[in-house]
Structure 1
């Protein structure tokens, strides 16, 4: 084991959460070391995300962070030449039972059956009374966004270490964290736990009680248009076919990405698609479309990690010094990463938050892990 490497902050996790907070911390003038257990960054959730910019969907916290992330996504402050967003309209189909209760985003447009079938001609007629067309949604180039953060971190002098699985975390009497990873020792007054599905495992290594994170598996299958006669997937919108039932969208050239919107609880792992879930995906797609799938061309799965109350966990661990939680984004982590990274970095570096956060009105402090520690703190008093 080589000489100890010291930095102002150690960020554990090289996905979108770790990359964003590391970049903003380095921008604030801190020396930052990022540790990633895999041989490549963004291997798990981030690298398997079909991300959209959807600022009017999800929990209130994610809507707040999403709105605050728009400017960065449109013109990244670390590299304004990189294009992150591209146009991607979304249609949410509505059946008769929900036609009067649908939550319509601002500036959305109602489509009758003829209008949405004109855009998605292979849907079965007669099942849905209409659809909500949201024109404020955009596709996110996840790789480009993640790369902007990593390049910024490096430009500001930060270090990225791969093949660095953390196997020991100890708090010294001097309140300095000692971290062993990939055969190397690191020291810092601050450890940022941005390890996604492994968040509770990292906490346990540090002698900290877990907060009850719940990783959930999401399945994706891809089918090619060449197995269907006269069908094109080009220029399709992102289509949500009933909440928690199915979505699909164009994927590359001549391909369709389909998901059953499954949320199967899982242990932290390299998630793989389950044969039953893939069969369910195809069955649901055939249930709402006129197409019969002859083959699945590609498939994968990823983990989306949730806290018990569905909100992200962002803040200092109240029981011990210098341990910062940045987990539980629940599938909304990519499009909210600019604002979440900036907010987390401001708490860690004690830098001033942009005025937009203060003016927003959302109680960001409520996302602190304090909400999971009330009972233990009472017991200590």
Structure 2
């Protein structure tokens, strides 16, 4: 097979993960970034209600989140907003667990009672008896961040190929050959940044799928009947994982039922029942009333079995690098994950920003170890 384009590295998937890694790699190698859709970030990145939330993903993800903050802040991609985990009576032990998990990490957490919650969420009902405030959160400008890394990739000489739905992946004499219709390319290394399609790409390349499961997540933008949604309203998250909501302009909010419905990789669409559940849960814990659903959408979040991201070379198949399974933390960790991933792939020392982060918890060979236990 003769390739139309020869490269050093092929990155498959131009969402925030693949684009960020490609931008880190492009100054050091000839990189082709391949996207199946006509627009990068169509499925997950472009549908994300991203938030920089240091406790999201747990203690093993937090170092990536923290290391990403300076890059996100310097780029102007953050708008400060607190986050508030709230609990009903049965959820109070989960607040204790959260505090314990992050003790000594430097994450600023403040325990609140119902009166404290009301200072932040004035229409909180008495059912919310406890909370944990994380004051250092921020909204993320996802489109701005994604556009910035794609631009950096192009400036460094990288080549972006969109509308290239891959039909075949084959390794011949140490070189990967990728075919999409009548278009071909080749390189010694493939990066699997295919998101919901990561396991499918692995199988196509002869690598063992890791069990990365796409999950549907639903969001509805609603208008409430009153105009008293405060500008400082935090991202409010049920500690038990059944909803979250955040403000989106005058008397408008984004509601999510915190759904994680296993689905096949594809173009996710919202289900009416999930929108109704989100509204019901919101009106149960606050006395705001929804006047109208203005828009709704769904996206895909893809998780490895242990819910940690997967970064590193496949333990069996040569030249196959995993960069997948980011779940809901892919955007807030993108800068640090890209730095760490590029160093692993290129065999270079870790940059100072991520030098203290142990990559072992994210290595794909951890699944081999688990299977042998």
TM-score higher than 0.5 here?
Answer: yes
In 1, Cα distance between the equivalents of 2:113 and 2:307?
33
Q: Tell me which residue corresponds to 1:365.
A: 360
Deviation digits for residues 167-208 of structure 1, max 9, x if unmatched?
111101x21000012531001001100000000111121122
Q: Tell me which residue corresponds to 2:133.
A: 133
Residues 30/98 of structure 1: CA separation in 2 closer, same or farther (3 Å cut): same
Contact 1:171 1:178 in 2 (8 A): yes
1:269 positional shift: 0.9
In 2, Cα distance between the equivalents of 1:304 and 1:25?
25
In 1, Cα distance between the equivalents of 2:45 and 2:249?
18
Contact 1:9 1:190 in 2 (8 A): yes
What's the TM-score once normalised by structure 1's chain length? Answer: 0.90
In 1, Cα distance between the equivalents of 2:370 and 2:351?
33
1:93 corresponds, among 86, 94, 107, to: 86
1:241 paired to 2:212: no
Superposed, 1:1-381 pairs within 5 Å as 4-27=4-27, 29-75=28-74, 82-99=75-92, 102=95, 103-104=98-99, 106-124=107-125, 126-172=126-172, 174-225=173-224, 228-232=225-229, 234-360=231-357, 362=358, 364-373=359-368
Contact 2:10 2:187 in 1 (8 A): yes
In 1, Cα distance between the equivalents of 2:48 and 2:41?
10
In 2, Cα distance between the equivalents of 1:341 and 1:112?
39
Choose 59-68 or 254-263, whichever is displaced more.
Answer: 59-68
In 1, Cα distance between the equivalents of 2:364 and 2:227?
53
1:268 positional shift: 0.4
- Residue correspondences, number: 364
Choose 191-200 or 276-285, whichever is displaced more.
Answer: 276-285
1:369 positional shift: 1.6
- What is the alpha-carbon root mean square deviation over aligned residues? 2.1
In 2, Cα distance between the equivalents of 1:62 and 1:134?
16
Choose 94-103 or 65-74, whichever is displaced more.
Answer: 94-103
Residues 266/233 of structure 1: CA separation in 2 closer, same or farther (3 Å cut): farther
In 1, Cα distance between the equivalents of 2:66 and 2:119?
31
What's the TM-score once normalised by structure 2's chain length? Answer: 0.91
Contact 1:233 1:256 in 2 (8 A): no
1:38 positional shift: 0.6
Point out 4+ residue stretches in structure 1 off by more than 4 angstroms: none
Contact 2:223 2:253 in 1 (8 A): yes
Give unpaired runs (5+ residues) of structure 2. none
Choose 313-322 or 260-269, whichever is displaced more.
Answer: 313-322
Choose 180-189 or 285-294, whichever is displaced more.
Answer: 285-294
Contact 2:228 2:251 in 1 (8 A): no
Contact 1:122 1:289 in 2 (8 A): yes
1:62 positional shift: 1.3
Deviation digits for residues 104-133 of structure 1, max 9, x if unmatched?
363333333233223322222x21223222
Contact 2:91 2:239 in 1 (8 A): no
Residues 101/193 of structure 1: CA separation in 2 closer, same or farther (3 Å cut): closer
In 2, Cα distance between the equivalents of 1:324 and 1:46?
21
Contact 1:59 1:311 in 2 (8 A): no
Contact 2:229 2:247 in 1 (8 A): no
1:2 positional shift: 9.4
Residues 100/207 of structure 1: CA separation in 2 closer, same or farther (3 Å cut): closer
